[in-house]
Amino acid sequence: MRDKPFTIEEERFIAQQLGAVEDRQVQRALQFLCEQYRRGRFSTDSVRLRTLVINCLFRNYEGVKRWALNALVEIGLGAHRETVVSMAPSFLDHPDLYASFVRLIFFGEREDKALLTFSRLGLPLHGLALIAGAEHSHQLRRRLIKERIPLERADVDELRAAIVLTGRQKAPPHIFLPNHSNELALGELTLHDSDPVKKYAIWAQAERRLGFSALRIPISDYDSSAPQVRKWILRLLFSDPDGLSKNIDLIKHAQLDDNEDVRQEAAIQLRSNYVLDGSPYLQDWLASETHEPTKLALLDHITAFAYRDPSYLAICLSFYREAPLKSVLRTRLEAAASGTSVFKRLRAIELEEESASLFSNDNEWEGRSVTNLTQNFYAPVGSATGTGAISADTISAISNVNNVQLQSALLSASSLLEKLKDEDIRAEGKVAIESVAKAPSRLGIGRVIDWLGKIKNGMDTTSGLISSADGLIETFQNMDFPG
């Protein structure tokens, strides 16, 4: 049952993340969205949120597309069914994408209508697709019970799909072995030869809250395991407060892991759990962490539990005071603190500074020097000059565009704004994007292309944006847009 809406701060933060330039950042925002919906959270503006998620399907990164399809299972397709169905042929050569698509269609429609859709389009419903569809189709579920997914003979893709079904507690009993529970089978699968199968099996254990004791991999094998396996060993640990209390030293393993993705994924899992004995370790980790996304994930945890830990509170207030007014970082901290007593303290600081224009803070706590986050995370939102991250006005205007392809391209273009150093080019881009969003026209699109051309030609010195601008120019030029 979904009975707890997102706060305004959370809605704003999610919209910012879904419009980010970096694909991995968008993917993690979609993963967070799915996680929160499964915990009973929901958006009070599902139409706008759904549109932002649909836009993600037009990105090139497969991980973003897959998680966008997964998020639509939680949010619903709304009026976008035909748009998504028309993309089905492009998913066929990508097993994970196709499995997510199958699950979405069977979730969003009556079973007979969904089966008719696949029959009419000549789309397959066997193997991986059978497993995915069985989550919401009684007919496919009966077939799956009969065929079963043998541990020794199933291919890797089928095993992963069956594990996902098990993790969501939608699998038939004994889907893998006739005489063993699915929970026991998950333990066996953590010892599989395939690292992706191991990873998914550990994910399913974490998703079902089976606890760290369910892990069959010897902890002595942690350091020699593949990064994708290590990160889920840590996420399983951090999802289990009792297990973490008994294995506090593994926080140091996470902190010292040389793989940034492992550290970030481990830190993300901490958003929902607090262990008193782990507090000093996590503060040390935050102080030494050089990877900004990981640092931000740790800061999410510290802010979420600042109401329980005085040292956490000091850190949270320190970072909040240092960030400028209306900044992305402040939005993030407010979202993490929402629903706790700390949120009111953060808002009080903001209101005081708005009236007094005071910006000061000691960047240390308890003798630990805190490495500053980059300006990218501090960029003001919606300032008068158009500088900083995507403004709320810009996102609002884009969300009302009816042409989904144009909407997606504008959102991608607007996400470049926060990266630009040249204020004049940034302001020009903001005006051009909002103009097209409010009154789409060929002339307006031409102005956006001219603006992107300046970035492509190096008129702004920010590195890494030329290729993004070049790709967007091609998108706008090839757009089938009347008028």
Q: What is the pLDDT of residues 14-73, one digit of tens each?
A: 988 998 888 988 999 999 999 889 888 889 888 889 999 999 998 889 999 999 999 999
What tens digit of pLDDT does each residue of 390-445 get? 555 666 677 677 776 787 778 778 777 767 778 888 888 888 888 888 888 888 88
pLDDT value at residue 16: 87
**Encoding tokens for residue 399?**
């969300």
SS3 content of the chain, % helix, strand, coil (to 5): 65, 0, 30
Q: Which two tokens stand for residue 87?
A: 């993309």
Counting Cα atoms < 13 Å in the Cβ hemisphere of 424 gives 4
Q: What is the pLDDT of residues 258-307, one digit of tens each?
A: 999 999 999 998 888 898 899 999 999 999 999 999 999 999 999 999 99
- At 377, the pLDDT band (50, 70, 90 cuts) reads very low
Nearest to 207 by CA among 156, 154, 269: 269
CA dihedral 408, 59, 71, 66 (to 10 degrees): 160
pLDDT tens for each residue of 430-479: 888 888 888 888 888 888 898 888 888 877 656 557 777 777 887 788 77
Structure tokens at 165: 């079904």
Q: Is the pLDDT of residue 359 over 70?
A: no
Residue 320 has pLDDT above 90, yes or no: yes
Contact present, 141 and 173 (Cβ < 8 Å): no
CA distances 469 to 93, 117, 293, 397, Å, are: 28, 38, 24, 21
What confidence category does residue 1 fall into, taking pLDDT thresholds of 50, 70 and 90? low
Distance CA 20, CA 181 (A): 42
- pTM above threshold 0.75: no
Calculated CA dihedral for residues 414, 415, 416, 422, nearest 10 degrees: 70
C-beta separation of 6 from 14 below 8 A:
yes
Q: What is the mean pLDDT of the chain?
A: 83
Round to whole Å and give the CA distance between 403 and 54: 12
Torsion angle, CA of 132/135/137/143, rounded to 10 degrees? 70
State how far the alpha carbon of 344 is from the alpha carbons of 300, 307, 333, 357, in Å.
Answer: 16, 11, 12, 19
pLDDT confidence bin for 358, thresholds 50/70/90 = very low
With beta carbons less than 8 A apart as the criterion, state whether 72 and 104 touch.
yes
